[in-house]
Structure 1
Amino acid sequence: MEYAAVALLALYGLGYLLLGGADIGAGMLLPVLGRDERERRLVVTAIAPAFLGSEVWLVATAGVLVGAFPDLEGELLSGMFPAIVALLVGWMVRDMGLWSRGRVDARGWRAACDIAICAGSWAVAGAWGLVFVWAGETGIGRVGPLPGIGALMLAALVAAVFAFHGLGWAGTRLGGAVGERVAGLVGRVGGWRLYALTSAAMLLVGLGLGARLPLRESAADGATLAVLVPALLIVTPFLMTAQAGMWWLLRGRVREPGYF
């Protein structure tokens, strides 16, 4: 059961990095992808329908961590409290900008929401970078030291991977003048190739973190896993099917701004 719990945690966590990481990266590059209000609205139109579905994977990851690895979850949250707070604040600011942008028909309001989306996305990506670097220094029964300059540089590198991941995703989703600009940014690599390369980088980052954590040693008792793992194995195919269906519905390029 411990191996199944680890596999489920990896599935949900890596799913979030691949899907949610693209939304975050596109938000980080919002001022670059959209040079005026209409173009930024087009980018947000591409992000908004998918970002909640992508965040479901993060919620599932947190649920598995809390239920199947309670000791590790407590140690990680207490040991990386500043990074977790930055992550949550950035997440709320970003989502607030995405939700609120189309609520008020005023240029200043939309500009403020664009700033919230971009700044929140950078905060989330940077916080994840800190979590990935810092978590490897944290184990059961101890709290890792504050990250030094080298760790902060690695965290910045992880944030850059998020940005390039969003750029590759934008190359597959955006059309019109914005799509042409993205094509110029990605060059001969192409949007799909860049997305595939950054997806591989995301997988390596996630797997590298998992390899450094004492997952099997911190798993819950057998009775808990005997209830939790079968329930997750039943739910997971439905989650994957819903995600695949959503991406199928959103498979076309976005060429006109929508409500957002």
Structure 2
Amino acid sequence: MELLWFVFFAVLLTGYFALEGFDLGVGLLLPLLGRTREDRDRMVAAVAPYVLANEVWLVAVAGTLFGVYPLLEGEVLFTLYPLVVAMLLCWVLRDAGLWFRRRLDGRAWRGFWDGTIAFGSLGLSAGWGMTLYAAATGFTASPVHPVGLMLGLVVTLLFAFHGWTFLGWRTPGTFGATRSGRMLVLSGLVAALPAAGVLAGALPYLLEHSAPPASLNVLSVMVLPFAPIMLGAQIWVWRTFRPGKDAFRVPSFF
């Protein structure tokens, strides 16, 4: 049962990196590729249908972490408290930018919220790299470490590449690239590599610190039946908003 839940947790975390990675990547590229207001609208429009569906994976990761590995909750929150708070603020800023950028039509208004999207995406991307470093050290080292900062840079670059690949798939040729669905899957796997590497190294530790079997059995009954629903909803989103399906009709959130 412990191994089953480790596999489930690993799928959720790597799936989050592979899916939310392109959301954050598009946000990172907003100041670089979005040279005009129309370009920025198109970039946000391309990613808009996927954002909320992808964020569900993070909620599932957090719930599984604290349910299956309750002893880690104190270590994560105590060791990474400033970083966790900073990442939550970046998450709020990024999502606020997505929702508010079109509430008014002024240039300054849109510029401000476009900036929060880029800043929030950068903070989340770098924060995830630093979090992975802390996890790889067993939460014994500060994430603000040269190696942690370097891993934050690596994750940021991987997400940016994944976002660029996504734009080439969702809006072929619009931002200088045309990418196939196979290339998008490949870039998603690459974006998830740091998380997969840390999970592989942490396997013995996580198995030893799993919740008692009785708790895992209860979680299995309560949680696992909803996994097909989550997967089915994700498939529906991708089939509904695949390339050619009104990529530019809604230029942003409402």
Code of the aligned partner of 1:198:
S
Code of the aligned partner of 1:211:
A
Corresponding position of 2:103 = 103
Code of the aligned partner of 1:258:
P
Corresponding position of 2:28 = 28
Runs of 4+ in 1 over 6 A off after TM superposition: none
| Post-superposition offset of 1:18 | 1.0
Corresponding position of 2:251 = 258
Asked if 1:228 corresponds to 2:222, the answer is no
> 1:171 touches 1:192 (CA, 8 Å); kept in 2?
no
Corresponding position of 1:155 = 152
| Post-superposition offset of 1:50 | 1.2
- Distance in 1 (alpha carbons) for counterparts of 2:113 and 2:144: 31
- Distance in 2 (alpha carbons) for counterparts of 1:257 and 1:38: 12
Tell me, which stretches of 5 or more residues in structure 2 are unaligned?
Answer: none
- Distance in 1 (alpha carbons) for counterparts of 2:155 and 2:122: 11
> 2:133 touches 2:147 (CA, 8 Å); kept in 1?
no
> 1:167 touches 1:191 (CA, 8 Å); kept in 2?
no
- Distance in 2 (alpha carbons) for counterparts of 1:168 and 1:64: 30
- Distance in 2 (alpha carbons) for counterparts of 1:41 and 1:30: 10
> 1:16 touches 1:57 (CA, 8 Å); kept in 2?
yes
Corresponding position of 1:243 = 234
Asked if 1:217 corresponds to 2:214, the answer is no
| Post-superposition offset of 1:69 | 0.6
- Distance in 1 (alpha carbons) for counterparts of 2:131 and 2:188: 19
- Pairwise mapping of residues 150-229 of structure 1 onto structure 2 (< 5 A)? 150-175=147-172, 179-183=173-177, 190=179, 192=181, 194-213=183-202, 214-229=205-220
State the secondary structure of the residue aligned to 2:206: coil
Percentage of pairs with the same residue? 37
Aligned CA-pair RMSD: 1.8
Code of the aligned partner of 1:155:
G
The 3 A distance-change label for structure 1 pair 251 and 144 is same
The 3 A distance-change label for structure 1 pair 98 and 259 is closer
Tell me, which stretches of 5 or more residues in structure 1 are unaligned?
Answer: none
> 1:137 touches 1:145 (CA, 8 Å); kept in 2?
no
- Distance in 1 (alpha carbons) for counterparts of 2:78 and 2:41: 38
- Distance in 2 (alpha carbons) for counterparts of 1:37 and 1:115: 13
Corresponding position of 1:82 = 82
Corresponding position of 1:93 = 93
Alignment length (residue pairs): 249
- Distance in 2 (alpha carbons) for counterparts of 1:259 and 1:25: 17
Code of the aligned partner of 2:73:
E
- Distance in 2 (alpha carbons) for counterparts of 1:257 and 1:31: 20
- Distance in 1 (alpha carbons) for counterparts of 2:37 and 2:209: 49
TM-score by length of 1: 0.89
- Distance in 2 (alpha carbons) for counterparts of 1:161 and 1:191: 18
State the secondary structure of the residue aligned to 1:29: helix
| Post-superposition offset of 1:191 | 5.4
| Post-superposition offset of 1:211 | 2.1
> 1:46 touches 1:174 (CA, 8 Å); kept in 2?
yes
State the secondary structure of the residue aligned to 2:38: helix
TM-score by length of 2: 0.91
| Post-superposition offset of 1:192 | 4.2
- Distance in 1 (alpha carbons) for counterparts of 2:144 and 2:199: 18
- Distance in 2 (alpha carbons) for counterparts of 1:146 and 1:26: 25
| Post-superposition offset of 1:38 | 1.3
| Post-superposition offset of 1:243 | 0.5
Corresponding position of 2:71 = 71
Segment of structure 1 superposing worse, 238-247 or 30-39: 30-39
State the secondary structure of the residue aligned to 2:208: coil
